[in-house]
Structure 1
Amino acid sequence: MSDNRAKPRPSADSLRAAGFDGVPAAMPELSWPVGAVSERLGIAAPTLRSWDRRHGVGPTHRTGGNHRRYSETDINRVTLMARLTAQGVPAQASADVIASMDDEAVERQLTASDGDPAGDVTAGADRTDPGSDGAGRSAGDGERDDTRAERRQARRGTGPGVAASTIVESIVSAAHQLDGPTLANLYRQTLRQREVGDAWTHVFAPSLRRIGDLWEGGRFGVESEHLASELLQSELRSVVRANRLRLAGPPVLLAGADEEHHHLPLVALEAELARHAVASLFFGPRMPTPALVEAMRRTTPPAVFLWASISRRRHEPFWTALDAVDWPMTVIVGGPGWPTDVRLDHDDIVLRQVDDFDAAVAALLEASGRTR
């Protein structure tokens, strides 16, 4: 039996809310959980949670179930946070700067093409106090100069205040976003702040391993790994160029074993040796044994370093080829590819096996008659 009673008409406000009367209903804003943002930006989820909890740079959107989610503007702010910390700006200082910017200013900063995202954003942070004498010293308050200098160093990535883990996270994030300028700046600042050996052991090698693991897990493309490696090689080579006029003495030889594809550890060694004014000849990866022995014969080096990351045999053709050597020389082998029981029976050659970067540098310096 039908109900013929008049039904109440919807109000104009309810029609507008439903999208009628020519007034479209507002579409809900898209938002993402922390895991999705972590995968999108290449920043570890614990780092995102830390930035939210400690520095207030995090999700501002809430779902109907009261779950916190990142909006696009939140993601922009997180991206800028990553870039600033990559430049060496402390996390809290980065957060303070971001908090002072509106959404449009954040977006403009992200699209800036100057390659130095920290430069303009933090420029005002280094201004001297009113009443200064123009040299950064406030009248009657000179004892604060050291504190200001330390803050400036930390902001610019030249001081000791930036943790290696923070730099690693920033490198991984920049590689994931294919952000070449930030990546190059990060490498450059790290090499200014740290010695090559420390930078390689605690920053660069962990970063490359992490990027490689993410690529193997399908989260990164191979383009991220290539970009990170190529830019790092370029910055390490700049260290060699900066010290080229200081290089002296017979060069040591640096090479990868035949069929060895990885060579960045050799580039890092070349850079560290250059800092100690030790000349080297870099032959790179996949150096055929006959060619390496011929290079040794023609240059009579005091030492040869041979790198291997893939598994090698205990009885290498290289050991037999060394019979042609008739001058005192040290052969140093490094990398996880070498067996632990490598032996060489030769009157003129000392064979040394090293386990880490510092040991390799020390052995090469000793063979060259240098000290650290």
Structure 2
Amino acid sequence: MNDSVEPGLTTGAVARLLGVSPVTLRSWDRRYGIGPADHRVGGHRRWRPADIAVLREMCRLTAAGLPPAESARAARALRERDGHADGTAPRSGSDGTPGQAADRVPGPRSSPTPRSSPTPRSSPTPGGPPAGDRGLSAAGVRRECRGLARAAVRLDAPAVEELLDTLVARYGPVVAWEKVMVPVLHAVGRTWETSGDRYVEVEHLLSWHVSTALRRVPSPPARCPGDGAAPGPVLLACVPDEQHCLALEALAAGLGGSGVPYRMLGAAVPVEALGAAVRRTGPAAVVLWSQSRSTANVPLARDVAATGWGVRGARNTPAVLTAGPGWAGPRPAGVLRPLSLREALSALAGARGFSPAPGPA
């Protein structure tokens, strides 16, 4: 965010600037003393650059998963470190802890690691096991989920983007998806379903940024099996009428991060287009995603499994995986149905002739 804001902003203007509701700002002021210096214009409080700097720190720390009271103490410490050039006395919050107002906005500085945040770890090796199960403890999972949910509810897009990119870089796409992204997406979905369709905008913003973070996963050079053969890519597609493809994007990120080439066709792929893509690419495997029973199409899975390519007498057919909760019923013989992202990655590695990389237990 740009720190060059004009002094004397109203509470509503600051709320829009930071993506925090005015009610939240007033609550932080009342409970924790995170408020503007005690000056008013026309009976209304005004926020100066130093006040806004403290708010930014409060937002950053709560997005990192720290409890609000602890975040407030750290944010007030920022104000105390920077001094109070205007000579104003420290102001006290409702908990009696003094805070100070400063006129100047602090320059760039290194952000201290919150004492409750996980120890940074190097990015996982492409194609190797995810690093997260060894480094993301149960407490870490709760903290990461809490921070991401808070940032999403505030519609704080920069914080959501930074948190997701950090998660994927630190733990890999598989762990980030299973341990944090899915739980937070489910929690947000349950919230708007039980609140009269409120917070739909939160789910849309979060879904968009999850998709963006997954698509940023870098792909190392494609691996070949030990015999040197070059099997076709993995073809990823949602069945016709299926619009939900976030889980398929997580699978694509896991494949790409492991050096397995894939072709993503995305949501609601027509039957004819899917058949043409199979014949043109000669895939080692095809993954058909269905989110609900109403979109699962068993005859389609059977037809894809029978679709061949190559010269007569040496025709090839792909392995077919039906993925997603929509495929809960019977499936054609020979069609695989993985029940998790890790199962799907292992099955697809096998379909391309690889021994799955050993992952965490």
Please say whether Structure 1 and Structure 2 have the same fold, judged by a TM-score greater than 0.5: yes
Correspondence for 1:299 among 268, 276, 281: 281
Distance 1:368 1:357 in 2: 17
Q: Which amino acid aligns with 1:173?
A: R
Correspondence for 2:35 among 73, 97, 101: 73
* Structure 1 residues 109-149: Cα deviation after superposition (integer angstroms, max 9, x where no partner): 8xx9x9xxxx84735x79xxxxxxxxxxxxxxxxxxxxx9x
What is the number of residues matched between the two proteins? 274
Distance 1:40 1:295 in 2: 47
- 1:338 is the counterpart of 2:327: yes
Shift of 1:219: 6.7
Structure with the bigger percentage of helix: 1
Q: Which amino acid aligns with 2:171?
A: R
Shift of 1:246: 4.5
Correspondence for 1:274 among 256, 262, 286: 256
Are the structure 2 counterparts of residues 87 and 247 from structure 1 closer, same or farther at C-alpha, using a change threshold of 3 Å? farther
Q: Give 1:281-360 correspondences, 5 Å limit.
A: 281-311=263-293, 312=295, 315-320=298-303, 322-325=305-308, 326-344=315-333, 350-360=334-344
Identity fraction in percent: 28
Q: Which amino acid aligns with 2:262?
A: S
Distance 2:182 2:234 in 1: 23
Are the structure 2 counterparts of residues 92 and 367 from structure 1 closer, same or farther at C-alpha, using a change threshold of 3 Å? farther
Distance 1:177 1:230 in 2: 15
Question: Where does the alignment leave 5 or more consecutive residues of structure 1 unmatched?
Answer: 1-38, 44-57, 62-68, 127-147, 345-349
Distance 1:233 1:265 in 2: 9
1:330·1:351 contact (CA, 8 Å) conserved in 2?
A: yes
Distance 2:269 2:318 in 1: 19
1:211·1:220 contact (CA, 8 Å) conserved in 2?
A: no
Shift of 1:97: 2.2
Relative to the length of structure 2, the TM-score reads: 0.63
The structure number with the bigger radius of gyration is: 1
Q: Give 1:231-250 correspondences, 5 Å limit.
A: 231-239=209-217, 242-243=218-219, 245-246=221-222, 249=230, 250=232
Q: Which amino acid aligns with 1:333?
A: T
Q: Which has the higher contact order (CA 8 A, sep 6+)?
A: 2
* Structure 1 residues 299-347: Cα deviation after superposition (integer angstroms, max 9, x where no partner): 1111111111111457434423543324142101111111332123xxx
Distance 1:367 1:42 in 2: 54
Q: Counterpart of 2:205? A: 227
Are the structure 2 counterparts of residues 307 and 187 from structure 1 closer, same or farther at C-alpha, using a change threshold of 3 Å? same
Are the structure 2 counterparts of residues 254 and 177 from structure 1 closer, same or farther at C-alpha, using a change threshold of 3 Å? same
C-alpha RMSD of matched pairs (Å): 4.0
2:290·2:296 contact (CA, 8 Å) conserved in 1?
A: no
Shift of 1:90: 9.3
Are the structure 2 counterparts of residues 282 and 369 from structure 1 closer, same or farther at C-alpha, using a change threshold of 3 Å? same
Q: Counterpart of 1:189? A: 166
Q: Which amino acid aligns with 2:326?
A: G
Distance 2:153 2:210 in 1: 15
Q: Counterpart of 1:4? A: none
* Structure 1 residues 57-115: Cα deviation after superposition (integer angstroms, max 9, x where no partner): x9785xxxxxxx677739x9898445225347798974552241446769998xx9x9x
Relative to the length of structure 1, the TM-score reads: 0.62
